[in-house]
Amino acid sequence: MNSTQNERITQITSTTLIVGVDIAKSKHVARAQDFRGVEVRKAGNFRVIPVNYVYNTAYTYIVNLKLIYKKRGVFMKSKLFLLLTIVSSTLFFSLMGTIEAESIQTKNDTSTDFKNTMVLSLDSSVALINGQKEPAVKPIVKDGRTLVPLRLISEGFGAAVDFNTKSQSIRIQYSNKTILMKIKNKNITIDGKTVAMDVPANIYYGSTYIPLRYIGEALNKKVVYQKSTKTQPYRLIIIRDVNTSTIEESKLIRVYGLTYEGKNVIYSDKYLVVIKENNKLRVSQDFYTFDDFSYHVTNDDKNTIHLGDIWFKTEKSDFYLNYDWITTQKFILYQVNGESISRVATENMPIKSVKTYLGNVYYLTQYQRGSQDADQTTNLKYATHNNGQWSSDYLGMPGFYYGFDTLGKVYDWPIDKDGISTFGYQRAGNLSSDERKKTFGQYKIKLSGHQHELLKP
């Protein structure tokens, strides 16, 4: 309340959402944009919001806005602030100060997402193992303790299980550990050390069940329980490596809910989920609200710049660009061949053009102010697919900028066996304007490595 306008402006960072509200006689419209002034349009991203009722104060508007997006399952970073300015032909004032958004932070600190993770439910016989839906035997509760199917847990994490029917003994070999148990016996022995469990292993409904707590500790797994809520009407058990990402705080956990609800999940990762509904693919970035997921042409105009929800068509396949505004502010490129979807690359800068050549994917990113390590990379990238995984690297000489000139003009960049031909210049580095102009020219960039050849100054 005591800060000046300039002091409030300096609070705007790359994680600030700016909301402008046009108050009219009958219809009020709010628009959200990022710190650069670019309107955010796609989900999980904020859209143009028609406000068909009058709020008594700007504070009430922000509170309602937060509730709307919380209801949709969109949670903003704890350091994200909403800065509101009310504008009309007769009214101009600023909301003094900022209002902190939801303190729940979606954590996306693993590139492998669901790897080495298992999700079970006391309300379902479906499990997610390493991100794949698998039929399973439902966990049960006995004497206040959760028991889980032995083979599902052990073999799901790659352990070898041997059950001796005569002695009713269980032997589990996992990594360099040996775990021994007996049916109806509370003792568990791990590498020769025996401890007593709260409840014994036992056979129920024809399957062997073991206490989850102890087998989790024996396999060096973290076990997390989640209660049911209004938006998550099922009880979850998440079992993951101790040192891996806190998947239970990620949007990815919603994938289990979609599966439990009978949705046909075609693809999912920490950025988006694609389902098939009525023979059509639909996509969601907030994992609750879905839109059409099919190729379409996106046209920018002088008032609108799309950062995400952009499609590229090549001779090989279609590509979809998603902008993850809410959590990471990254640009994620997907290859889409019908129902076959894979994540090709993740970039900090907008991807503006995509091509394919001999099975590889090539793409151009656009320079943005604040780019880090610009002198150690370029904006021309390529991605290769080997052993089921995509990997990417930059092409050309570090510090160079290809496909655009200093005024933003876009140049074609044809690819052949000898390389990529396009305009380029050295953008990074402490160069004067004249020194930079001397690097202008038509270059041939090699298809591997970090070299180029000047064809024509």
Query: Once rounded to an integer, what is the mean pLDDT over residues 58-80?
Result: 39
Examine residue 95 and state whether it is found in any structural domain, yes or no.
yes
26 pLDDT band, cuts 50/70/90, is very low
Say if residue 87's pLDDT is above 90.
Answer: no
Provide the pLDDT for residue 368: 76
**Do 80 and 139 belong together in one domain?**
no
**Do 80 and 158 belong together in one domain?**
no
Examine residue 91 and state whether it is found in any structural domain, yes or no.
yes
| CATH assignment of the domain containing 225 | 3.30.457.10
Say if residue 153's pLDDT is above 50.
Answer: yes
Provide the pLDDT for residue 237: 85
Last residue of a domain, one of 41, 75, 100: 100
Q: Are strands 16-22 and 81-87 parallel, antiparallel or unpaired?
A: parallel
Average pLDDT, the chain: 77
Last residue of a domain, one of 213, 241, 269: 241
Provide the pLDDT for residue 441: 97
Q: Does 336 or 60 have the greater pLDDT score?
A: 336
Q: Does 268 or 425 have the greater pLDDT score?
A: 425
Query: Once rounded to an integer, what is the mean pLDDT over residues 45-63?
Result: 38
Query: Once rounded to an integer, what is the mean pLDDT over residues 65-87?
Result: 38
What is the tally of helices (H) and strands (E) in the chain?
Answer: 6, 37
**Do 404 and 456 belong together in one domain?**
yes
Q: What percent of the chain has pLDDT over 90?
A: 41
**Do 195 and 152 belong together in one domain?**
yes
**Do 96 and 145 belong together in one domain?**
no
**Do 134 and 226 belong together in one domain?**
yes
Q: Which of 69-83, 121-135, 263-277, 390-404 has the highest mean pLDDT?
A: 390-404
- Provide the domain limits for residue 362: 355-457
**Do 197 and 147 belong together in one domain?**
yes
pLDDT-wise least confident of 110-114, 318-322, 349-353, 436-440 = 110-114
Provide the pLDDT for residue 363: 98
**Do 81 and 143 belong together in one domain?**
no
Examine residue 213 and state whether it is found in any structural domain, yes or no.
yes
Query: Once rounded to an integer, what is the mean pLDDT over residues 419-425?
Result: 98
Provide the pLDDT for residue 3: 54
Which residues are within 8 A (CB) of 381 and not within 5 positions of it... i.e. 6 or more apart? 345, 347, 362, 363, 364, 365, 392, 393, 394, 395
- In this predicted model, what pLDDT tens digit does every residue of 321-359 receive, in sequence order? 999 887 788 999 999 999 999 999 999 999 999 999 999
Contact 274, 267 (CB under 8 A): yes
Question: Which among 448, 403, 399 is positioned nearest to 427, based on CA atoms?
Answer: 399
Provide the pLDDT for residue 400: 97
Examine residue 44 and state whether it is found in any structural domain, yes or no.
yes
Query: How many structural domains is the chain composed of?
Result: 3
**Do 85 and 200 belong together in one domain?**
no
Say if residue 86's pLDDT is above 50.
Answer: no
Examine residue 139 and state whether it is found in any structural domain, yes or no.
yes
Contact 44, 324 (CB under 8 A): yes
Last residue of a domain, one of 193, 211, 241: 241
**Do 88 and 138 belong together in one domain?**
no
Say if residue 57's pLDDT is above 50.
Answer: no
**Do 148 and 188 belong together in one domain?**
yes
Examine residue 399 and state whether it is found in any structural domain, yes or no.
yes
Which stretch of DSSP H or E encloses residue 62? helix 58-71
- In this predicted model, what pLDDT tens digit does every residue of 284-316 receive, in sequence order? 988 889 999 999 998 766 666 778 899 999 988
Q: What is the DSSP letter of 304?
A: B
Question: Which segments of 21-90 does DSSP mark as H helices, in order?
Answer: 58-71
Examine residue 84 and state whether it is found in any structural domain, yes or no.
yes
Q: Give the residue carrying structure tokens 């707590």.
A: 213
Examine residue 343 and state whether it is found in any structural domain, yes or no.
no
36 pLDDT band, cuts 50/70/90, is low
Say if residue 70's pLDDT is above 50.
Answer: no
**Do 121 and 22 belong together in one domain?**
no
